Amino acid sequence: MSGKEKLKKILIVDDEEDILWSLQNNLCNESLQVDISAASSGEEALEILSNSEKIDLVITDIKMPGISGLDLLIEIKNRYPYTSVIVMTAFPSNEYKKEAILKGSLHFLEKPFDINGLREMVTLAIKEDNMFRGTVAGVGLTDVIQIKALSGVNSALRVKEGDQQGIIYFENGQVVHAICNDLEGEEAFYQIMEFTGGLLDSINVTNMPDHTIAVPVGALLIEGMRRSDEKSASGNVVESSDKENSVVEVDNAKKEDDMADLKEVLTEFTNIPGVNTACLVGRDGFLLDSIAMSGIDTEMIGAIASSGFGASEAMGNQLGKGALSMSMIEYNDGPVMLSPIGADAFLVVVAEKDANLGMIRLKIKKHTSEIVESAAI
C-alpha cells in the first residue's frame, strides 16, 4: 500500500477487554492494513462514531450491558448507512442471526473464531462502499434482480420500504433464499416483490444461508408480477354511484404505473449511476424532451445525434441487417447509446465509462413502449 493511501477505519466494540486487546494487536497483518479503534460499550461506540471521521467498519459483540450489539447496529444503520457491520456472538442462534441480518448486518461471526477467517471477512466488508445502493423507484427492483442473475454473483440484496424490509440471497446468480418479516423462502421473495418503493442495498455475503428456493429467477419474477397484478386488480374494483347504471370497474394498477409521463421515464435513465443525460429526439433532430445534468446542451446533442442515428440505420440497410434496434458509440470518457422509439423518434443516452451498460439496455427495452405512448409518437 502506498504511503498516500488512506487506511480504512475499523471500530471494535466488546465489553470483554481480552477480546479488544487481541483484535487490536492481531487483526492487522501484511495483507490487511487498517486503522483500529476500540470501545468497551455501545454508548462509547456511538460517541466515537459521532466524533470521528467516517468509520468504514464496526465489529461488535451482540450481548453487552446497556446498548446491545443489535441496538447499536440499528443506530449505525440509521445514522451511518454506509458503515459496514460485523456482528460477533458467543451465543449462536438462528433467531439472533436473522434479527441481525434484518437490522442491517450480513456478516455474522460466532466466537471462538479463526483470526484468518475474520481478516477475510473484514477485507470483504471494507470493500462494500463500492457496492450498488439506490432506490426501488429509480432503478427498478426487477431490473436489479435480473442484472444480478445475469452477472452470476454471490451476494445479497436488501430491500427496505418504510417499516418493511427483506433480503434476497444470490448464489452464482440464482436466487437461493429470501427473508421478509416472518416469512422465508419463496413467499418471502414474493412479499418483497410487492414493495412499491424504498431503498436497495446490495452487499457481499460471507455466510450463505441454507437454500430454500430452487425455482429459476425468471419463473420467480413472472410469478411475483402475476401475484402483484392479481392483488392490484382485486383491490381496485369500484362500483359506480349511479344505481341505474351500476357497473364494476377493475383498474389495472400496473398499467397505470407503466403509463408514467415522459419526464418520469427519462428520469429513470439518469437515476442509473454514471448516466448523465437522456434525450428523446425526433428524426428531424429536434429535441422532444430531456433530463440532463446542469450545463449540458441537450438541443445540441439532439441535433448532432440525429446524424449518427441516420448513419447507423443506413449502414444496417446497406449490409442487409434489418431494422436498427440499438447503436452504441464508445468514447474514451464513456458511451453514447441510440435506440429507435416508434417510427418518428429515437432515444439518446449519454453515460460515463463506468456506467452499467446492461442496466441501460434493460431500461431501454422495458420503457420503449411507455415512451411511445406518453410522447404520442
Number of Cβ atoms within 10 Å of the Cβ of 214: 10
Helix (H, G, I), strand (E, B) or coil at 1: coil
Preceding peptide of 112 cis, ω within 30°: yes
Tell which residue, 83, 194, 89, has the closest CA to residue 142: 194
Cell 451465543 locates to 91
Which stretches within the chain are classed as H helix?
17-26, 42-51, 69-79, 94-102, 115-125, 136-139, 141-151, 186-193, 217-234, 253-258, 262-270, 298-318, 357-375
Q: What is the mean pLDDT of residues 102-123?
A: 75
Residue 38, pLDDT score:
94
| Total residue count of the chain as it appears in this document | 377
Mean pLDDT estimate for the chain: 79
Q: What is the mean pLDDT of residues 91-120?
A: 69
- Collect all residues with Cβ–Cβ distance below 8 Å to 250 and sequence separation of at least 6: 233, 236, 237
Quote the pTM value: 0.42
Rounded to an integer, what is the distance from CA 183 to the centroid of its chain?
21
The CATH classification of domain 8-129, taken from the options 3.20.20.70, 3.40.50.2300, 2.60.40.1930, 3.40.50.720: 3.40.50.2300
Q: Which residue has the higher pLDDT, 85 or 12?
A: 12
Residue 247, pLDDT score:
38
The model's pLDDT over 239-296, given as tens digits with 9 standing for 90+, comes to 444 444 443 343 444 444 444 578 888 888 988 989 999 999 988 888 888 888 877 8
Band of residue 96 on the pLDDT scale cut at 50, 70, 90: low
Tell which residue, 211, 205, 207, 10, has the closest CA to residue 89: 207
| Lowest-confidence segment of 151-160, 200-209, 360-369 by average pLDDT | 200-209
pLDDT of 144 > 50? The answer is yes
HEC string of 272-292? Answer: CCCEEEEEEEECCCCEEEEEE
The model's pLDDT over 203-250, given as tens digits with 9 standing for 90+, comes to 767 678 889 999 888 888 888 888 877 776 666 554 444 444 443 343
Q: Which residue has the higher pLDDT, 74 or 322?
A: 322
Residue 95, pLDDT score:
59
pLDDT of 37 > 90? The answer is yes
The yes/no answer on whether domain 259-375 falls in CATH 3.30.450.30 is yes
Using an 8 Å Cβ cutoff, are 265 and 373 in contact?
no
CA dist 14 → 92, 93, 98, 215, 281 (Å): 16, 19, 21, 41, 59
- Percentage with pLDDT > 70 across the chain: 80
Whether 8-129 and 259-375 share one fold: the answer is no
Ordered by start, the domain boundaries in the chain are 8-129, 132-228, 259-375
Give dist(CA 62, CA 77) in Å, integer. Answer: 15
238 forms beta bridges with 249
Residue 278, pLDDT score:
92
The model's pLDDT over 49-69, given as tens digits with 9 standing for 90+, comes to 998 888 988 998 888 888 888
Task: At 208, list the grid cell.
Answer: 450463505
Provide DSSP, 211-222.
P---S-HHHHHH
Q: What is the mean pLDDT of residues 161-171?
A: 86
